[in-house]
Amino acid sequence: MAEKKMINIALPKGRLGEKVYALLAQAGYPCPELLEDNRKLTFENPEAGVRYFWVKPSDVAVYVERGATDLGIAGKDILLEYSPDVYELLDLNMGKCRMCVAGPKDFVDDPAHTLRVATKFPNIAARHYRAHSREIELIHLNGSIELAPILGLSDVIVDIVETGKTLKENGLGVHEEIVPISARLIANKASFKFKSEAIRELAAKAGEAVAARG
């Protein structure tokens, strides 16, 4: 019976995941083994009723949407880009950055020409320019997006800006902020129904921990 109440959580592997874990441990869901230096991907603490899994950050929403885990922590960028069918329970106020249009500082958009936009986030970019009735050509890249305008592959980029260091060191600047981004606690819809009490309790305690951190 106790087994049924275990909550399975997909943590984004990396620095953000470690910060999120610290928050959940503070909220009453510790699993100290998780921070040991090993290659294990699954951890559990039956007393706390929790299992953790290290998942590639961009895959978290897939695990949660398909019910492989009950909960997960995903960036708002991923939620906006892929629109997974999940519940968004809480803003963790971590992993904060901005989705921006950026490019050469002296770039002037000429409406007479189709704007070439390089990005890892084609849906977010397409939505943004559709809302402005601006015709664009999307160039879908997987990383080092800042190179695209430098090499003339695109006019601008739509990308995440955190410290702004990458843009600065490559002679680029922010043209426009599209949306602020932060990490969110997300839930599988069926899990939220069948493990409602345990999940609501975890979300409430995590919310208190977020508020306590200010």
Minimum CB separation from ligand PRP for residue 145, in Å?
Answer: 6
Taking the mean position of all CA atoms in its chain, how far away is CA 151? Answer: 28
**Nearest residue (CB) to ligand PRP, 84 versus 95:** 95
Rounded to 5 degrees, φ, ψ at 8 are -100, 125
Minimum CB separation from ligand PRP for residue 174, in Å?
Answer: 9
Does residue 60 touch ligand PRP according to CB under 6 A? no
Long-range contacts, stretch 43-47, CB < 8 angstroms, 24+ apart? 44/6, 46/2, 46/6
**Nearest residue (CB) to ligand PRP, 114 versus 144:** 144
DSSP 3-state of 14: coil
| Size of interface with ligand PRP, in residues (CB under 6 A) | 12
Segment near ligand PRP (CB under 6 A), from 29-37, 111-119, 143-151, 200-208? 143-151
Minimum CB separation from ligand PRP for residue 144, in Å?
Answer: 5
Between β-strands 156-161 and 7-12, what pairing exists: parallel, antiparallel or unpaired? unpaired
**Nearest residue (CB) to ligand PRP, 97 versus 126:** 97
Measured at the CA of 78, the angle between CA 154 and CA 126, to 5 degrees, comes to 40
Q: Which of residues 145-174 bind ligand PRP (CB under 6 A)?
A: 145-146, 159-166
> From CA 70, how far away is CA 60, in angstroms rounded?
11
- Which residues make up the interface to ligand PRP (CB under 6 A)? 143-146, 159-166
